[in-house]
Amino acid sequence: MAFDAPAAPGPGLSPRAMAWYRFSRNRSARIGAFMVVSVVFIALFAPLIAPFPDHAGAVVDFSARHTPPNLTFPLGTDKVGRDILSRVVFGFRLSLLLVAGVLAIAVPLGAALGLVAAWCGGIIEKGMTGFTNVMLAIPPLVMALAIGNVLEPNLVNAMIAITLVWWTWHARLVYRVAKSVAAEDFIEAARLAGAGHLHILAREILPNCISVISVKTTLDAAFVILFGATLSFLGLGVKPPTPDLGSMVADARQFLPEQWWEVLGPGLAIFYATLGFNLLGDGLRDMFDVEV
């Protein structure tokens, strides 16, 4: 008897297949995935999808200003006569760019700091968790407003502002997960086998944190879109005439309630993208069976 008992406990599927099954059975996750994919698709092919691609720029057509939704302009026009649908389509681009930029910096930064804090222990751990807690104590909007005021308002600076308040959540999350993984037998076994610190952090602990990070990142995408919209609403986003969902809402606000469509279009777009990411994140959470 060389091979002991038969392997494959449970339902005989690999974790990946089980995860995929859970995901595919979850209706909200499917809807979320569809919404996110559609947003990405629209953003990528904005010039082809938008009925008036040039309206994303500084086009002025006063004869068509404040047109209610009709067949030519499905979402109506704004105060200078630009097609709102076209601007919303291009607005997705900016939102996704913001999401990508913020998360591409905040997630790896936060994860790395969390891992190092959990693994090193001692003064490094105390210092990092302390600093993270202090950062978390500052209201993110106040922090972002302060940074936005110091720097000139544009996309990159908005990104920096959001990133600076965002990494802390990832640091805390990864710290917590890594701390419990670090106490597992297999970590001590790896150390006994001669593995170095870098190997243990990157190859042993990090793979066990990936599911948590990816769920959190997806959920974060929704918040970053909202946060970016808030910043542009407050005038710290991109400069006109670049179409941005947040500043479109801000501009149109003064024409409420008569020209309601001018707020409704970008508002719905923010809602759609945020909801999509949230549903997808919830689906991933069920799929990986993690708590965030």
Partner 1 sequence: MRNLLDISDLNVSFSAYGRRQHILKDVALSVPEGGRVALIGETGCGKSLTGRAILGTLPDTARIESGRISLRGESVLDMPPKRREALKGTAFSIIMQDPLSSFNPVLQIGRHLDDVMRFADRRLGICASCAERKARIFDVLRKVQLSDPEWIFAAYPAQLSGGMRQRALIALSLLHQPELLIADEPGTALDVTTQDEIMTLIDRRVSDNGLSLLMITHNLGLVRRMVDEIYVMRHGEIIEYGRTTGLFRRPQAAYTRQLVEAIPPLYGAAVVNRPASTAKPMIELTAVSKAFARRSAFAKSSRHVAVKEVSLSIREGEIFGLAGESGSGKTTLARMIMGLAHASSGAIMIAGKPVDAGSAAARRNRIQLVYQNPGTSLNPKRTVGQTLAVPLAFVGVRGAAAASRIETLLCDVDLPSHYASKFPHELSGGQKQRVAIARALAAEPRIIVLDEPTSALDVSVQRNVIRLLTRLGDTLGLTFLFISHDLSLMRNFCGRIAIMLKGRIVETGSPRIVFARPRHPYTRALIAAAPVMSEEEENLKPHIGPEERRRYLVGARARS
Q: Which amino acid is at 135?
A: M
- Choose, by CB under 8 A, the member of 12, 62, 71, 258 that binds partner 1: 12
- Choose, by CB under 8 A, the member of 138, 190, 275, 290 that binds partner 1: 190
Structure token pair of residue 218: 């997806």
Structure token pair of residue 143: 């922090």
Contact of 251 with 101, CB cutoff 8 Å = no
Q: Least distance in Å: CB of 196 to partner 1?
A: 9
> Interface with partner 1 includes 2 (CB under 8 A)?
yes
CA angle 179, 177, 170 (to 5 degrees): 115
Instruction: Please provide the size of the chain in residues.
Output: 292
- Choose, by CB under 8 A, the member of 152, 184, 289, 291 that binds partner 1: 184
CA nearest neighbour of 286 among 9, 33, 12 = 33
Q: How far is the C-alpha of 187 from the C-alpha of 201, rounded, in Å?
A: 10
- Binding part of the chain for partner 1, among 81-89, 114-122, 138-146, 184-192 by CB under 8 A, reads 184-192
Q: Least distance in Å: CB of 117 to partner 1?
A: 21
Please list every residue from 15 through 54 that binds partner 1, using CB under 8 A: 15, 17-18, 21-22, 25
Measured from the CB atom, the residue of 23 and 52 that comes closer to partner 1 is 23
Q: Least distance in Å: CB of 173 to partner 1?
A: 18
Please list every residue from 84 through 143 that binds partner 1, using CB under 8 A: none
Dmax (CA) of the chain: 88
> Interface with partner 1 includes 195 (CB under 8 A)?
yes
- Choose, by CB under 8 A, the member of 151, 208, 267, 290 that binds partner 1: 208
Contacts of residue 207, defined as CB under 8 A and 6 or more positions apart, other chains included, come to: none
> Interface with partner 1 includes 198 (CB under 8 A)?
no
In angstroms, what CA-CA distances link 6 with 2, 12, 15, 16, 150?
Answer: 11, 11, 18, 20, 65
> Interface with partner 1 includes 11 (CB under 8 A)?
yes
- Binding part of the chain for partner 1, among 78-86, 162-170, 179-187, 240-248 by CB under 8 A, reads 179-187
Provide the β-strand partners of residue 77.
83
> Interface with partner 1 includes 202 (CB under 8 A)?
no
Structure token pair of residue 69: 């939704």
Output Rg (C-alpha) for the chain, integer angstroms.
Answer: 23
Measured from the CB atom, the residue of 2 and 71 that comes closer to partner 1 is 2
Structure token pair of residue 161: 């502002």
- Choose, by CB under 8 A, the member of 65, 66, 79, 199 that binds partner 1: 199
Q: How far is the C-alpha of 129 from the C-alpha of 114, rounded, in Å?
A: 8
Measured from the CB atom, the residue of 9 and 122 that comes closer to partner 1 is 9
Measured from the CB atom, the residue of 98 and 115 that comes closer to partner 1 is 115
- Binding part of the chain for partner 1, among 2-10, 43-51, 137-145, 229-237 by CB under 8 A, reads 2-10
Q: How far is the C-alpha of 261 from the C-alpha of 78, rounded, in Å?
A: 9
Q: How far is the C-alpha of 57 from the C-alpha of 185, rounded, in Å?
A: 59
Q: Least distance in Å: CB of 114 to partner 1?
A: 17
State the residues that interact with partner 1 by CB under 8 A: 1-15, 17-18, 21-22, 25, 184-190, 192-195, 199, 203-204, 207-208, 210
